[in-house]
Chain A
Amino acid sequence: MAEHKILTEFEGIKDSRSLKTYLKHGGYQALAKAFQKKPEEIVALVKESGLRGRGGAGFPTGLKWSFIPAHIKERYLLCNNDEGEPGTFKDRYILELSPHMLIEGMIISAFAIGAHKAYIYTRCEFYEEIKWMNEAIDEAYKAGYLGKNILGSGFDFDLDHYIGAGAYICGEETGLISSLEGKKGQPKVKPPFPAVAGYLGKPTIVNNTETLAVVPWIVNHGASAYKAIGTEKSAGTKLFCISGPVKKPGVYEVPLGYPLKDFIEKEAGGLRDGVELKGVIPGGLSAPVLLPEEVEKVTLDYESMASFKSMLGSGAIIVIPKTQCMVELLKVTLDFYHHESCGQCTPCREGTGWLANIMKTVMQAKAKEDCYDKMYEVASHMEGRTICALSDAAAMPTKAIITKFKSELLNYLRRG
């Protein structure tokens, strides 16, 4: 399979974050090209490319952009850099390698949707990464890529960097908007979707860091070049980050449709010596776990993952070794969602709490054997009943672990 280095182009390059290096490798040329086009041509280009949101939902990016109502001129672009889905560490890699790629992608995307102001929303624990991003923004302002009349195009655009305060829910696009408005990071009811009424009630596009960073490549190489990579419905490359007991955990870029088994064996160097595979969480903690026989067959694209009733999500691959107790893993999972539920919707606030509490009684060997059936039932009532998907994100892995590891969970209780 041909190697594609789109987002990881700057891997191994010295001083890769500086503007100087970025320019030396053809940086900001896509921006100049974009300014030769009409904004609607860029929206069409991104639509044609087949690019889908890389934050987890996989919604077609160009289509999202086209939902902005034509008659409202005050618009915003927000970059969701609040990387917090457990297992995910791929957006920070873009900041480590080439923050200018993100900036260039944001200027082009803002031009396409007619926004003159954008924010990057970054989680506060990324201390170093925040510094790198701020330095790149300063450089871009000084060099005239941000500010008034960029490259003589007549297009004005300001980019600011906003730092979160430790809340997973702000990675949800309307939660992010609430937070940027200076409020609790509670998601808002949709519709209206942010593209119609988002930040301060104005049309707002929220895109993931990786999604925005790939836009310059698409402008440079064309929609068909991007579409030629990957599968028919999952175009392009994606960053996948792998953690757990593999020889080389880290971030790797592969075309969508790449076999998961090959990714673990080749990119990540295989399992560490003596480790046997119990399962893989393929797309961040919210994605239902896959068993070893499923790992053999599944490929890294939206459709294949869906056919195994899991999801590609953020591209966070968590490898689970045979020695890992699934009761513990389920408890850790549910403690997370219980902690991060924003509390607005009853099924999520109460549901995540009930599930976490039941797991506590399991670990204290005080639970009855039918507790897992109860949990499955509670989880089923948490799906599709809330403002945002956090409740579903807690329910899905719970149901998958209960279904696929029931005998281990029961044995844990029987052993006492």
Chain B
Amino acid sequence: MMIFSEALKEKIRSYLERYETKRSAILPVLHEIQKEFTYIDDEHILTLEKDFGLNRVHVREVVTFYSAYLTEKPKKFRILFCDSVSCHIEGTQKVMAKIEDFMSSYKKKEKELPFSLEGVPCLGVCGGAPAMFVNEDRYLNVSCDNVEAILKKYDH
């Protein structure tokens, strides 16, 4: 059984008291768990029920509804590239193809790939299209010319 750290337990308890109902704490608590473990698994959900009284069905429906919660361990660096309309107009497809090329170079060198690439809905920064995140770092005006340099900063 995965044990939550004392600091995490403390955070969970404070969220449980923070809102009008305990159930409102589910989203922020899951954000905290994911921050600590990088993803959320069934043991976390069962621990929330057993130790903190959050119904497992209530928690699981939140985990599976919202795209921010991951149920499998992610790569060290997640590239989230906006593929909504503004970014698409400004070249998302080309830049994503460039990123895929860059990622396939790892295969050739037989190095372990630390990146994953996903197209995601609008990131709310369309003035800097195309936009992408690498984990929590936001990059604007990403282009075929600058994307490789950005990614190389993460794996050097």
Interface residues of A (CB under 8 A from B): 83-89, 92, 117, 123-128, 160, 162-168, 179-185, 199-200, 241-245, 249-251, 281, 285, 316, 318-321, 324, 328-329, 332-333, 335-336, 339-340, 342
Specify which of B23, B83, B84, B121 is in contact with A183 (CB 8 Å cutoff).
B23
Residue interface bits B45-76, CB-to-A below 8 A is 1, else 0? 00000000000001001100111110000000
Question: How many positions in chain B have a CB within 8 Å of any CB in the partner chain?
Answer: 40
> What 5 A-B pairs are tightest by C-beta distance, nearest first?
A165-B66, A166-B68, A243-B126, A182-B23, A243-B86
Which residues of A have CB within 8 Å of B89?
A: 243-245, 318-321, 324, 329
Considering the complex, give the chain B residue whose CB is closest to the CB of A244.
Answer: B89
Which residues of B have CB within 8 Å of A241?
A: 126-127
C-alpha gap A280/B85 in the complex (Å): 12
Which residues of B have CB within 8 Å of A336?
A: 84-85, 121-122
Say if the beta carbon of B26 comes within 8 Å of chain A.
yes
Residue interface bits B1-43, CB-to-A below 8 A is 1, else 0? 0000000000000000011111111111011000000000000
C-alpha gap A313/B18 in the complex (Å): 34
Specify which of B21, B26, B122 is in contact with A87 (CB 8 Å cutoff).
B122
Which residues of A have CB within 8 Å of B83?
A: 332, 335
B124 near A83: Cβ-Cβ < 8 Å: yes
Which residues of B have CB within 8 Å of A335?
A: 83
Q: Closest CB of chain A to B81's CB: distance in Å?
A: 13
Which residues of B have CB within 8 Å of A328?
A: 88
Say if the beta carbon of B125 comes within 8 Å of chain A.
yes
Which residues of A have CB within 8 Å of B88?
A: 328-329, 332
Beyond known contacts A182-B26, A318-B85: 18 more, CB 8 A cutoff: A86-B86, A86-B126, A87-B122, A124-B31, A125-B124, A126-B124, A160-B18, A165-B68, A168-B121, A182-B22, A182-B58, A242-B127, A243-B127, A243-B129, A318-B86, A319-B89, A329-B89, A336-B121
